[in-house]
Structure 1
Amino acid sequence: MALKDEFEEHAEKAKTLPPATTDADKLILYGLYKQATVGKCNTSRPGMFNLKERYKWDAWKAVEEKTQETAMEDYITKVKQLLEAAQ
């Protein structure tokens, strides 16, 4: 299976993560997803009164040095870990 196909499959599986998934894990997935699909962070950091968007931006910025392929691989690995932990 091609990496992109596997990534898209796990992106769908990520939608079925249990509600108990921590916000920290969700932010890691968000950052990896954005890096895999968009590439380097290309927006300015949201203001201090928009905390949710600011945390998401920080998560993306933290992984911006990864290649898109590496971000896809890391995303797949993280989704697998979270799904296994939920069982």
Structure 2
Amino acid sequence: MTDITTQFAQAQEDVKQLTERPGNLTLLRLYALFKQATEGDVHGDKPGFTDIVGKYKYDAWGALKGTTQDAAKQQYAELVESLKNGTAA
């Protein structure tokens, strides 16, 4: 495994151990980065207006279109690290 893949895997474990639940916008960012890192650019049909949460998730993931999977892994790991240190915005 590459170094970034190892960091990403560790970040996935670390995020489960956070003492405080991140805010909704941070959770949405984590979701989008995870999806971009594991699946690449957004695909599938955009959820309809009755699925508000699904629509926000789809839009957040779509905003990362063109971001490489390694870059998304790096950003995810950095965000988790800042959450662990209490320095996330």
Structure-1 separation of matches of 2:65 and 2:13: 23
Match of 1:36 in 2: 37
Question: Whole-Å Cα distance in 1 between the matches of residues 38 and 14 of structure 2?
Answer: 16
* Helix, strand or coil at the partner of 1:40: coil
Which amino acid letter does the alignment assign opposite residue 16 of structure 2?
A: K
Give the Cα–Cα distance (whole angstroms) in 2 for the partners of residues 11 and 43 of structure 1. Answer: 24
Shift of 1:80: 0.7
After TM superposition, give the deviation of residue 16 of structure 1 in Å. 2.2
Equivalent in the alignment of 1:50: 51
* Distance (Å, rounded) in 2 between the aligned partners of 1:13 and 1:70: 19
1:26 aligns with 2:47: no
Equivalenced residues, count: 85
Gaps of 5+ in 1: none
| Structure 1 counterpart of 2:24, one-letter code | D
The sequence identity of aligned pairs, in percent, is: 32
TM score, norm. by length of structure 2: 0.88
1:44 Cα deviation after fit: 1.5
Q: Which runs of 4+ in 1 moved over 2 A?
A: none
Q: CA RMSD in A?
A: 1.4
Letter in 1 for 2:79: K
